[in-house]
């Protein structure tokens, strides 16, 4: 689960599964342009 102290989330997908992602920046001190989504095989 993504929280203020845990900014890593791991999702396991099976072949053919799809995820949808939405980002809502509520931290006015950080730029939304700095947000990154990194996909990698686990």
CA 31 from chain centre, in angstroms, equals 15
Q: What are the structure tokens assigned to 16, written together?
A: 């053919």
Report pLDDT for 1.
Answer: 64
Contacts of 13 (CB under 8 A, 6+ apart): 19
Give the residue among 34, 18, 20 at the shortest CA–CA distance from 7. Answer: 34
Cβ 2 vs Cβ 11: under 8 Å? no
Q: What's the CA gap between 20 and 31, in Å, rounded?
A: 22
Q: What are the structure tokens assigned to 36, written together?
A: 């990154």
pLDDT tens digit at each of 42 positions of the chain: 667 777 777 788 889 999 888 878 888 887 777 777 777 776
């Amino acid at each position: 689960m993504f929280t203020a102290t845990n900014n890593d989330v791991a999702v396991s997908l099976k072949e053919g599964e799809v995820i949808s992602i939405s980002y809502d920046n509520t931290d006015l001190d950080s730029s939304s342009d700095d947000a990154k989504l990194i996909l990698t095989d686990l």
